[in-house]
Structure 1
Amino acid sequence: MAGNLIISLHGPSVHIVRQCGPALGDILHSKFGCTAIIEEVASGSVPSLVPQKTVVSEKRFAGVLSAGIKLSVWKDDLTNVCVDAVVNAANDKLQHWGGLAQALSSRGGPQIQQDSNDYIRQKGDLKTGDAIVCAAGLLPCKKIIHAVGPSLTANPSKYEISKAKPLLQKAIRSILDRVKENHLKTVAIPAISSGLFNFPLPLCADTIVSTVKEYYENSDRQYLPEEILLVNNDDPTVKEMERACCELLSHKTYSEVAGAGAGEGAAKSSTPTVQFGNIQLTLKWGRIEEQETDVIVNSTSSDRNLSYGVVSKALLKKAGAEMQRELHRAKPKGKVIITKGYSLKCKEVFHTFDLSTREVLFKSVLDCLCIAVSNKHRSIAFPAIGTGGYGLSKTQVTDVMTEAVKEFAKKSLPTFEVHFVIFPSEVDTYKAFETAMRSFQQKAPDPGFTQALEHRDHFPVSKPAAPQISLYGSPESRLEAERWLWCLFHSSHRVTIRNNFILCFGEEEYLQLTRLSTKETIDIKESFDKGHADITVNGDSHEEIVVAALQVEAMLCNIQREFVREEERAMLPFSTEKVTFERTPVDVRDVLFSERASVLIKEGLCMLKLEKVENPTLRKMFDAKKQQLQCSTHRNMFQLIPSQFCEMVSHIGFHAEYAPPADPAYGEGIYFAGTVRKAMEVWKERNETYLYLVEAEVLTGNSTPGRPGLILPVVGTHPQIFDSVSGGPDLSVIFSGYQALPKYIITCTVA
């Protein structure tokens, strides 16, 4: 990442972002790999349509069930929890008139109640103990599960309670059934039937915890989620959930949120964890070189010598000398230099330097966080940087680092973990951080994280004068995202979305399109012409058109994520653990770079970046396909794809949805061009600022001429099965993505 790009918001765009901020951030991340930081959209005179978070999230318990599933207890606002699904305590008619149901319906927008009305109209009232899955609207989760628990009278008798308990157990089991059926990884469950429904709170907590425990003890293990979160926003309920977990789960099935004993001086009190929006900040004892986060942060000297400083020496010893050699070669990004992790248990190390003032330290921490998210990492570990030879006191470092995380968390971001890791002997440093984090746990932050920092004047981060979006990512991704946003915000009465994953829409997606089309001011049309699927949104209101278009884009993001998950599951037999891949930039001085750059120059293109793709699982599948086809050789061929599919092709290989040609005259398969020039002809309807060529090894095998409409290679007159079809010497079409292996992604522009 080489910095950020700021887009000012004016007039209608402010209202659009207010309604769709979280969805817009997700879309920008999915389409362009950009992290979008949305600022000051709630400060105008028009009230925000998306209520902002007003309490700090706090984890009160964390454990692991016997099936390996995490179970945690949280004090939090369920309307702001970022999980795959949240559970609503619903009534049998799905009328969300009060309590949690009303809060979720208000936060999620009119779609929540409309979906519920549609369900009741089509299938009738729910029964007590039932649970159904619906779209989450504007909630920051994928799904909402409406569950009907028992409703008791104001002062229920023991007999009434005894009748209600099995119904509550049934409701919890129904929720977990829906989790399994929809392959949800995380679900947040409130204290169903307590509160407005009058189920006694202590028994409610015991019933929920014991039912979750028993469900997974007796599960067939065909699908298991990653975590069950028990989430409530009031202290009495949270304390009862915490008590129930401690009493009903044995020591063999859970571990409390306590100091894990990172050697001498391990924590004797619970580990401070604070949730700022989507950012979870945890303080822990430990050695920085032993952390298993995606990123580890190091503070080094300006001469980049890792032999100086306690943290640098520890990382160097663990990582090996190659990290030192790369550090000398690497180019800094501001005050951050990035190297690989080598023998460390992380993907990358961010080296910071010259942390001589509070201002520089603040910016360095903030830069590390932004770069990590932009590089699609999910977690980062910081030592107490700045407390060594830079002259900053422990209190100063504590204040600056925690405020930097808080500032970062004000933005619209994906879920992310930040760890402050304190060496076991640094008791005073740990206490300073602990005091700061306890204070955050005990008091609510500024509403929506939009107010100025208490010590803002000390830091070089000024409050924007107007609403804006800051885009973090590569220069190419930032400019592509800016161009897309400009076209979206300046569209008049029509927005067209071209994406062949529209063909993967199911009943739920078409139901959402139908609901959007029922508005008098909106008209949505789907078309499929020459192998290209389009959705066009028309209407009289610019704001409503763009909001509807963003809802369609959000559906496509979810469809693509599910597509990747399904492909990963299909690829698992060829992978020892999980499907992993790397996109490694090739140095401009490398002969590989110069060879490909010279080819592109002849075609009027300038190569900006060459990335090598390495995916061991795809390689195994490609080799297996080579044996199956009895094909000893491959062709080096090219495909021109939109930027949003570069990550997918690296992860799960080639699919026809990525790059349909301008004219699929030779079949409905996956097209490859033998030369760059031919690729420019096949995919001539490209209008992006940058072009993304994928160079691949392709198994064409036995080939025959193609024709329109083919979905599989034709069978010859003799008992011969062809492996591909052709459209001439420089064009091949395959019908199995495993016949092609991505090798390089080339980013270029017209010279």
Structure 2
Amino acid sequence: MSDKEQCRMPLVPEQAAILGQCRRDFCDAVNVKFKCTAVLHNVEQADHFGSKTRGVWRGEKRYSTKLSSGVEVSVWKDDLTRHKVEAVVNAANENLNHGGGLAQALCEAGGAMIQKWSDHHIHKVKKVKTGEAVLGPAGNLPCQYIIHAVGPKVSQNPTKKEIEHASPLLYNAINSILQIVVKENISSVAIPALSSGLFNFPRDLCADLIVKAIQQFHEFGGFQDKNVEIRLVNNDEPSIQEMERATRAMSDPTSTSPSYSGALQGRNQSMTSSSSGSLQLGKITLTLKKGYIQEEKADVIVNTIATNCDLSKGEISKAILNKAGKKIQEEISRMRNPINFSGGHLYSTNGHGLGCHSVYHIAMTYTSKTTLYSSVTECLRKAAQGYKSISFPAIGTGNLGFLKQDVAKIMMDAVAEFSKQYMNKLEVYFVVYPKDNEMLQAFENEMKKKKGAPNYPEVHNNLATSFTSAAKETTANETPTVEFYSVSNEALREAKEWTINMLQPSKTKIIKNNHVIHFGQEDHMYLLSLQTMLNVHIEEFFRNGKGGITITGNPLDVSCAAIKVEYLLCKAQEDFARTEECDILYSVVRWSCKINQIRRIICSILQK
């Protein structure tokens, strides 16, 4: 490649994860759009649902409980096309036409047999009504059977009446699945969040209904003393957390969440907090304790809130609102100029009915590890300007969807890095909901690492510098990078700028491209499947002569979807150009044929 120019761009972990999930689409898009070759280094390949294909893939078991009958109910993060059980449940439609979402992914992984059997069933037997399920072959999937279950479909913003009508049908679908499991002596079954994807059923209600159906099937003796394992398997973090919440509530009715959503119920319990260890970081004393954040007596307590500043949204915020009183909502509603930081805003209010002087309310405009790090740093910076103590809850393990081990590491790293710059004494408390032993353990593990480490790891607090400094986090030969090659420096610059824009965290990305009007039926079906696979919302638009696609959702998923959509548009553009060339060639050939025909006629006349 001596005749080509090149440039190298290091990647932070979130960016490497995105490109690992859409490696082929990214490289192809760069080639088509900029006539550049993109080469990824130290970026792990992933498939439909983000599963690693390097090494042996193992799903992550999040929670497990046993019913009195011996039936085990567990919650997993995994790709259903790889999950090893005896039977996998497919979210099907009445015609068993597996053209989008999970159904399409299972068919692609399992081979033509799945759709072929489904077509035969519809032709020879009948449609599968909503609320029913049928057992079919699994083809090449790592299981013996697929149970095609048809859940109810509702509108994108369903009314209460729609939900009331659809709920019994979803309950019946789960019941039908369990009946098949017992009748066919199936020992293990994997059930996804049925109807919550393309069929728009609210995710939290879906989890509640699935768990309720399992519990009542058990209570009425439906399992007939058989040793059955029921796995609630999803790949997107919000569905996993809802399933875990609902399953924990079934096994422990006093707790509605693995993290902090039991805070409201816990307010009437003993409010004493128990310390679980402390760590000295320069002038900062970091203490880990069990307790309820709304009962803290520190100078400042930290809250996480919705971007619209509605304090009744989110369990931590709701608990703080109930303790502080309505005046805290009135105060934050009047605010117009919050402190802005990378990825969010910080609002400061009085403590009102709380035992603190101030409450720092964090509103994240997009969710990423760098945003979480920045939010902790900003709270510390502001508290250090006049206060002596600050209490944090475990930020981001609820609706924001961060993994607990990631939260523990990021929050610890933020305090450690801040301690290098701060010269006065400050007491920092990490307050963990008493029943969340998993979160407590994650913090304790990070605290042990800090006690044994002479130097604190560097964490970058904004993506602009991360591109150039990510190499400091690992050795050069281990740093995830993307290299661009081209004969044109201008093409290299444009390819890099486009990549930075695609990887920049945002809950919404708008791709403007008029070639969206040339999408065929297969392209539209692919967009539908992307919505389910990446848990995003995709909308096409064409107005005032301009077309394109809008993608909304979790920032990392949005970036991945945007790259895949960009390549889809590249293909549409190529197909359109190819069609135009064929049309032009056809016109030229026809014109040549007519000229030759005229010549022959003239020659024939002259000869006479």
TM-score bracket, normalised by the shorter chain, equals 0.3 to 0.5
Q: Which has the higher contact order (CA 8 A, sep 6+)?
A: 2
TM-score normalised to structure 1 length:
0.28
TM (norm. structure 2) is 0.34
Structure whose residues are more often helix by fraction: 2
